[in-house]
Structure 1
């Protein structure tokens, strides 16, 4: 069967294993059902996820002009400590920023390759961890806004990485870590204004199982710009990556805004 559409990040549904869906405007693919089967993808052109114009994608699925204007691409997205809605100060659109920033956020520890610290909106649990390919995750604190989550992450960056080694994650090279023990270690490191939230945040450990038939022994990344047509047998899905029998991996999220044709 053939499908055409503009790539956006795969939608995921928690389960054992996690269920993945590639959603287009008029159709969708249940990716788990394609495991072990041939998969062909062809790059057809660009389409900005905001203005829908056929313009080259700059970042996050947006063209250059949109990326530097729309509120959903402000610096506070990647650097939560820059959030200012709690001060009633706008970055690009105060109404949008209040809705996004002034809601409960989780600062967490996750095991995806090594230990990492991160921030997500509470409504994105466990989707955020699935997108990152985490095997386990635990909340450190639940705070009422993005700024408090951001300064907590900054305080912990000198003790834990805030990045994932994506190659180790895809090779399934994950060191065993006691998240509960690490959580207790973290408490004295929290900013003073965040300490009050530690005891009220539960210690539930989330274990995540991915639909993988076989992990690769070595990997190479598929770039649709330099390789506009690719065909291979799908052997696994983890994070936002598709894994193929020959060791090729494709980061769907990195190619948001790319128009594609898929044959399965």
Structure 2
């Protein structure tokens, strides 16, 4: 039996040459190779302590997947414009942390379309070796970049145009219940671009013709380490049931899939002190 104990954080993700996702869970000072645990029995117990991911103070309740209330209302990364990028207010001089905003919001962003069980539009800042960690966190099996834009605000404005014709949310239950059928993302991309051509042109004239650039057609397929998908999703809530045990059958998005059709969103419990036995 191996034991790992400490505060957990969002699983780190990467892909190999065939776009197979690799997962590592930070547990205290250790980094747990979760892919290697598939097929094994895991027991996990929440020890009753939550620490803020930013200030590391103990908190009775976790906000925004790992922050105390004080950090929730003071950090730029916890502001409402992170969820709604079209509301970015840096240019109004009201950013909570201007230096953070300059580093994270005033750089190239990408508008994408992904297949997460159904088609969705989204934005991301990182396209590492062609694959965005955001696509992986959403459990996307296919994704393609539509446009490159110069900042977060512009990405939100373009995304808002697209949302009239395609969803911007992931149905996490549907994402976890199987491998979705492949979709023609390039056709979807071209259809949406045609539908938003007039308002998009107006936005380009406002921001500059070179500011919003269409990206060449490349579809990325992403593969997850799953042996068996749940038939009917049963979500584990550590606040109500602080201990669980079972065979790990797969990992997708930020979810562990266990026997008995059980799943747990590990990212939701970032900052929780957990002991894991394998």
Relative to the length of structure 2, the TM-score reads 0.90
Which 10-residue stretch deviates more, 97-106 or 53-62? Answer: 53-62
Quote how far apart the aligned CAs of 1:132 are.
Answer: 0.4
Q: Which of the numbers 101, 106, 109 marks the counterpart of 2:110?
A: 106
Which 10-residue stretch deviates more, 128-137 or 1-10? Answer: 1-10
Equivalent positions of 1:223-234 (< 5 A) are 223-234=237-248
Equivalent positions of 1:18-33 (< 5 A) are 18-33=21-36
3-state SS of paired residue (1:97):
helix
Residues 152 and 194, structure 1, Cα contact 8 Å, conserved in 2: no
Question: Aligned pair in 2 of structure 1 residues 198, 140: CA closer, same or farther (>3 Å)?
Answer: farther
Which 10-residue stretch deviates more, 242-251 or 119-128? Answer: 119-128
Q: 1: CA distance between counterparts of 2:145 and 2:12?
A: 22
Quote how far apart the aligned CAs of 1:108 are.
Answer: 0.5
Question: Aligned pair in 2 of structure 1 residues 160, 255: CA closer, same or farther (>3 Å)?
Answer: same
Q: Which of the numbers 61, 69, 73 marks the counterpart of 2:74?
A: 69
Which 10-residue stretch deviates more, 161-170 or 15-24? Answer: 15-24
Q: Which of the numbers 114, 118, 125 marks the counterpart of 1:121?
A: 125
What number of residue pairs does the alignment pair up?
Answer: 263
Q: 2: CA distance between counterparts of 1:194 and 1:218?
A: 45
Q: 2: CA distance between counterparts of 1:83 and 1:153?
A: 13
Equivalent positions of 1:1-264 (< 5 A) are 1-15=2-16, 16=18, 17-44=20-47, 45-56=49-60, 57-85=62-90, 87=91, 89-123=93-127, 125-172=131-178, 174-188=180-194, 189=196, 191-192=200-201, 193-194=203-204, 196=209, 200-264=214-278
Quote how far apart the aligned CAs of 1:152 are.
Answer: 0.8
3-state SS of paired residue (1:58):
coil
Quote how far apart the aligned CAs of 1:88 are.
Answer: 5.9
Q: 2: CA distance between counterparts of 1:144 and 1:177?
A: 28
Quote how far apart the aligned CAs of 1:198 are.
Answer: 6.4
Unaligned runs of 5+ in 1: none
Which 10-residue stretch deviates more, 192-201 or 17-26? Answer: 192-201
Quote how far apart the aligned CAs of 1:59 are.
Answer: 2.1
Question: Aligned pair in 2 of structure 1 residues 152, 210: CA closer, same or farther (>3 Å)?
Answer: same
Residues 88 and 94, structure 1, Cα contact 8 Å, conserved in 2: no
Q: 2: CA distance between counterparts of 1:82 and 1:222?
A: 33
Residues 11 and 22, structure 1, Cα contact 8 Å, conserved in 2: yes
Quote how far apart the aligned CAs of 1:115 are.
Answer: 0.5
**4+ aligned runs moved over 4 Å, structure 1:** 194-200
Relative to the length of structure 1, the TM-score reads 0.94
Which 10-residue stretch deviates more, 187-196 or 1-10? Answer: 187-196
Quote how far apart the aligned CAs of 1:200 are.
Answer: 4.2
3-state SS of paired residue (1:236):
strand
Residues 14 and 126, structure 1, Cα contact 8 Å, conserved in 2: no
